[in-house]
Amino acid sequence: MRIIKMVLVLLLAVTGSAMAQAKKGTLATAKIKVPSVQCNMCKDAIQRYFLKEEGVKSMVVDVKKKEATVKYYTDRTNIENIKTAIANVGYDADDVTANEDSYNDLPKCCKKPEDGGGPVQKKH
């Protein structure tokens, strides 16, 4: 009988520990201005990068509004880390300037108009 009690206590301890680890942090949503986003290639590059970013549940970029909406777990990341990650892809994010090397590696259409970029204009 004593062995059965010890096994039950052990099972409860393991189950409780697993349940505590499964609990996720608070899910937060933030909107970040991405003024240098020019086209769907920009959108795809940012969203694809965030598929593997720790703590980010989703990232949706609106090219027309030049805005990114991100859902993230507050116990795994924060808004400053997310802005820095966007900058590391090569795009400005609110008050964080794009990483220069990453920006230089972007396709021409994804660069700022003052740098000769922007959406491709069709000639009539």
Residue 101 forms part of a structural domain: yes
User: Tell me, what's the pLDDT at 52?
Assistant: 86
Distances (CA, A) of 63 to 9, 41, 95, 124: 55, 10, 18, 24
Residue 9 forms part of a structural domain: no
Cα dihedral 95, 101, 105, 109, rounded to 10, equals 30
* Mean model confidence pLDDT for the chain: 85
Evaluate if residue 48 carries a pLDDT over 50.
yes
- Give the total number of structural domains in the chain: 1
Distance, CA of 18 to chain centre: 27
Q: Which structural domain range is residue 67 located in?
A: 27-114
The reported pTM is 0.75
- pLDDT tens column, 69-89: 999 999 999 999 999 999 999
Whichever domain contains 99, its CATH number is 3.30.70.100
